[in-house]
Amino acid sequence: MRKRPFPDCSAEPVADPVHHTILALAIEGFSAPDRTTMHRLAVRAGIYRVAEQALSAVGVEWEECHRADLGDGVLILVPAGYPKAVFTELVPAELTAFLAVHNAARVRPERIRLRVALHAGEVSYDVHGTTGAAIVHTFRLLRSRVLEDAVACAGGDLALIASAWFYDEIIRHSPVSRPDLFRQVLVQEKETAAHGWVRLLGSGDGARRQPAG
């Protein structure tokens, strides 16, 4: 029997860190017991379709974005050349609209409610994919209890959490982003303790009860 070779542990980054807008999407309740494997395949296909449609609708080329599958969602790294305000002025509404189209045509276990995290920062690439503190922080926001609680108390299809950096640098300067509909929250996950800003969309676009900070 041939021995399996040891993995190459000498892989070096293939490029210097690159700045990206970081968008992470996860399907709420992906592992719910009423979902079969076929249902999960349908919602996985749905989240990719909705994300591509939403980005294309605002002029972001899907093929120019680096994408990594998360099992219950997708990580999207957008080139720095795209204006960041697009991701709070236009993308949330487009995601909500395309989610509504998807959900209207599906049985309940195939309908999607999304948790979305938004951040920006430096990303390093190697032969296996990507890494960087900015990606780690985005995942902390995406998987945070406070965002899960926001989804639980909302009636809409999408709960968005933006990092404090993204809010301070982009959202609060953009009336179109509706900073008045964001609420500050404290994210405490693993080694992370940081503020984020949550907005709920769908079913009144933030008119539902907001999570406490």
At 117-167, the pLDDT tens digits run 999 999 999 888 999 999 999 999 999 999 988 887 777 899 999 999 999
Q: By residue range, what is the domain housing residue 148?
A: 18-201
Q: Would residue 209 count as lying in a domain?
A: no
Q: Would residue 157 count as lying in a domain?
A: yes
For residues 135 and 73, give the distance between their C-alpha atoms in angstroms, rounded to a whole number: 14
Instruction: Kindly state the helix (H) or strand (E) to which residue 127 belongs, with its residue range.
Output: none
For residues 186 and 50, give the distance between their C-alpha atoms in angstroms, rounded to a whole number: 29
Who contacts 74 (Cβ-Cβ below 8 Å, separation ≥6)?
24, 25, 47, 48, 51, 67, 68
Who contacts 140 (Cβ-Cβ below 8 Å, separation ≥6)?
187, 189, 190, 192, 194
Tell me 33's DSSP state: T
Q: Would residue 161 count as lying in a domain?
A: yes
What is the domain count for the chain? 1
CB 156 within 8 A of CB 114: no
For residues 47 and 136, give the distance between their C-alpha atoms in angstroms, rounded to a whole number: 21
Instruction: Determine how β-strand 129-131 pairs with β-strand 73-79.
Output: unpaired
Please determine, for residue 211, whether its predicted confidence score (pLDDT) is greater than 60: no
- CA quadruple 181, 152, 76, 59: dihedral positive or negative? negative
SS3 (DSSP) at 138: helix
Q: What is the CATH number of the domain that holds 120?
A: 3.30.70.1230
Q: Would residue 174 count as lying in a domain?
A: yes
Instruction: Kindly state the helix (H) or strand (E) to which residue 88 belongs, with its residue range.
Output: helix 86-89
Please determine, for residue 43, whether its predicted confidence score (pLDDT) is greater than 80: yes
Q: Would residue 10 count as lying in a domain?
A: no
Q: Would residue 83 count as lying in a domain?
A: yes
Burial of 194 (0-12, 13-18, 19+ CB in 10 A): middle
At 107-122, the pLDDT tens digits run 999 999 999 999 999 9
Q: Would residue 206 count as lying in a domain?
A: no
Q: Would residue 213 count as lying in a domain?
A: no
SS3 (DSSP) at 79: strand
pTM, rounded to two decimals: 0.87
Residues above pLDDT 90, as percent of the chain: 78
